[in-house]
Each structure stands twice: as C-alpha cells, then as structure tokens.
C-alpha cells in the first residue's frame, strides 16, 4: 500500500475534518500509566538471505569484536574521526567495532559453507554462528562442502566441536594449499609469535576431523560448479576469495580484504597488524577494489557491516562502499 500526504488531506476533507479534530482532542486526555516494558537489549537472529542468479545465499553473523586502533599501523585518529562523521557514524574513541560474517550458498544442487566464525574462542560478543545457522533452518548434515577463505581462528573455528568432532559430518573441506602448508609448518611456527602459534594450533585442531575429506587447491579457477577460487595473498599466504556466478550475475566473497568498513575504502593503505605481509595485502586490496569498482561486481566481506553485501565505486584516488539494499524477494 502507498500512502501519501494527499491521501491524508483528502480523508480529512471527506469526513469534514471530524477525524482530525477527534485525534487532536484525544491528545489532551490524560492516558493511564503503564509499568516500564523490559527492553530486549539485543538484535534478533543474525541471518539474511539474498539471491545471485539461481544461487540462494544466507549471510550468518557470528557477532562482533572491538579492535584497538593500534592494530592499524598507519592510523590517523583525526582522519578516522572525519571519515566516520562523513558517513554519519559515531566516531570511535579507541576501539573499532568489527563484525564477523559467514555465508551459506545453496546452488540448487549443493549446499556450501564459506567460513564458520569463532565458536567460543574470542569472547562473549562472538560465537553466534551455530545458533544463527540453526535459526536459518540449515542442518549441518546437509552441508556438502566447506570453503575456507583462510584458516584464522575467526574463520575456521565453527567447523569442529571442542570434543574434536566435525560439525558438518558430510562436508568436504576445501582450502588453499599455501594456507594449509603455512599453518602446518611446525618448523616455522616454533619461531613465530604467540598469535601465529595460537592460530596454528587452532587451525590444526579444527581441520583434523576432515583429513579424509580434504581438498587442497593451488590455483585460480572453478572449485565447484559456479564457484571460482581467486588468490588474495597478503593477509595470509593462501588467503582466497570465491567468485559466485549464476545467470549472468556474480558476487566476490573476498574474506579479509577489508576489515574496517568506514576506513579502508578511503584509505586502502591502512592495513591491519594481522596481515602476514601488509604490503602485499595492500596490493591485493587495491587490485580487488579496482576490479570490483570497474566491473560493478558485488562484494561479500567477512568483516563488512552485516550482512556484508555491497558495491564499490571509484571516487577520485580512492573508493566508496555502498551497502546493498534489502532484498525483498529471492
């Protein structure tokens, strides 16, 4: 139904203004008091569906983490504050809120999970992936394949229980060989930082139940019908994006190319300390931003504002992110 100001005026005229007068009169009548209603204090289910051609995609929110601005080596607080104000956001004080998203793709033939959140490994504001998967009506037994953009703790931890059992008993695990080899390199990890050691131990534990259903990819190209792998190195050695194509529509799931929605489109040179190679990560980010803006390819990001879906436009020497509107029909 479409309601206009003209409709309201016409209704008032047809009733001789009685309805309007009655409404105005009612404003002066004291209303009975009511007890304070309890507030929910939380959002509803973090699940959102949309379509790409014949593919149905469900975005799942694992929660959020508050990242310190000190994780961005080139961070300038005055520049960041202005960027937030320009985008009608509340400027951060010392923490930047970052969502963590995962995605389920129903191609019509297969159900494919892309990343899986943190489980309970990163605090109380995270770990909602499993509940949101259930709320979305997706049974773990129905998942045919798991694609990992990389093996960081916030992308792999939802695939296996604390008891070491696969949450997705029928799924094939697909990950880039360079990422697998990096996190399983005991010689390198013995000399690495505590952060890398922790991620390595977690990556091994989470992937172990899938050892007999493991596929390692080592080049760009189709990994499943309608889904192509694209190497996006820098954040991790085997960081991988996935292009979904169906009926002349496409979307790039780019993992951790961008962590900070309000900042890195305007400043692609602002990398995050978690990038294994920050210079290479910046180069990859610029390459992807050039591509998706020039070809008008939609993007899905693990850390873009939920549900993580939008487009990128070129703006002089940098870029601007446009979050997609709600998709009412699939």
What would the two tokens of residue 151 be?
Answer: 């093996």
Residue carrying structure tokens 């190319």: 257
At residue 43 the predicted structure's pLDDT band, cuts being 50, 70 and 90, is confident
pLDDT tens readout for residues 215-258: 999 999 999 999 999 999 999 999 999 999 999 999 999 999 99
At 34 the pLDDT is 66
Residue 38 lies in a domain: no
Residue 287 lies in a domain: yes
Instruction: Give the orientation angle of helix 5-14 with respect to helix 18-26, to 10 degrees.
Output: 100
Asked if the model's pLDDT at residue 308 lies above 90, the reply is yes
Decide if 230 contacts 222 (C-beta within 8 A): no
Residue 221 lies in a domain: yes
At 277 the pLDDT is 97
CA 221 to chain centre: 23
Surface-to-core class of residue 1, CB atoms within 10 Å of its CB (0-12 exposed, 13-18 middle, 19+ buried): exposed
Residue 187 lies in a domain: yes
- Mean pLDDT, the chain, integer: 91
Q: Looking at residue 58, which CATH number applies to its domain?
A: 3.60.15.10
- φ/ψ of residue 43, rounded to 5: -75, 165
Asked if the model's pLDDT at residue 19 lies above 70, the reply is no
At residue 121 the predicted structure's pLDDT band, cuts being 50, 70 and 90, is confident
At residue 8 the predicted structure's pLDDT band, cuts being 50, 70 and 90, is very low
pLDDT tens readout for residues 20-36: 434 434 445 555 666 77
User: Count of domains in the chain?
Assistant: 1
Spatial CA neighbour of 86 closest among 95, 78, 76, 94: 78
Predicted structure pTM score: 0.88
Residue 96 lies in a domain: yes
Residue 291 lies in a domain: yes
pLDDT over 90, % of the chain: 80
Residues 6+ away with beta carbon under 8 Å from 32 = none
- Give the residue numbers spanning the domain of 55: 46-323
Residue 31 lies in a domain: no
3 state SS of 15: coil
Average pLDDT over residues 278-293: 98
Nearest-angstrom CA–CA distance, 275 and 185: 18
Asked if the model's pLDDT at residue 163 lies above 70, the reply is yes
Residue 8 lies in a domain: no
């Amino acid at each position: 139904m479409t309601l206009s100001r003209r409709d309201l005026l016409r209704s008032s005229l047809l009733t001789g203004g009685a309805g309007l007068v009655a409404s105005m009169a009612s404003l002066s009548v004291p209303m009975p008091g009511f007890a304070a209603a309890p507030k929910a204090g939380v959002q509803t289910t973090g699940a959102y569906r949309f379509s790409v051609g014949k593919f149905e995609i469900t975005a799942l929110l694992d929660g959020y983490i508050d990242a310190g601005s000190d994780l961005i080596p080139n961070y300038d607080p005055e520049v960041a504050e202005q960027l937030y104000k320009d985008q009608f956001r509340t400027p951060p004080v010392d923490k930047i809120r970052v969502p963590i998203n995962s995605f389920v793709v129903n191609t019509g033939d297969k159900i494919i999970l892309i990343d899986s959140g943190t489980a309970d490994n990163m605090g109380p504001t995270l770990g909602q992936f499993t509940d949101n998967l259930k709320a979305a009506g997706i049974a773990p037994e129905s998942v045919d394949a798991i694609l990992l953009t990389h093996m960081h703790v916030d992308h792999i931890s939802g695939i296996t229980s604390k008891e070491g059992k696969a949450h997705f008993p029928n799924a094939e695990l697909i990950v880039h060989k360079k990422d697998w080899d990096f996190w399983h390199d005991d010689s390198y990890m013995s000399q690495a930082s505590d952060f890398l050691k922790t991620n390595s131990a977690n990556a091994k534990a989470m992937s172990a139940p899938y050892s007999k259903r493991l596929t390692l990819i080592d080049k760009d190209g189709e990994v499943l019908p309608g889904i192509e792998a694209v190497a996006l190195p820098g954040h991790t050695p085997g960081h991988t994006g996935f292009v979904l194509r169906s009926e002349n529509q496409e979307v790039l799931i780019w993992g951790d190319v961008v962590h900070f929605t309000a900042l890195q489109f305007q400043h692609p040179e602002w990398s995050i300390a978690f990038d294994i190679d920050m210079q290479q990560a910046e180069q990859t980010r610029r390459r992807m931003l050039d591509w998706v803006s020039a070809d008008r390819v939609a993007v899905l990001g693990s850390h873009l504002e939920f549900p993580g879906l939008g487009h990128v436009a070129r703006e002089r020497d940098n870029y601007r992110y446009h979050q997609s509107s709600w998709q009412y029909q699939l």
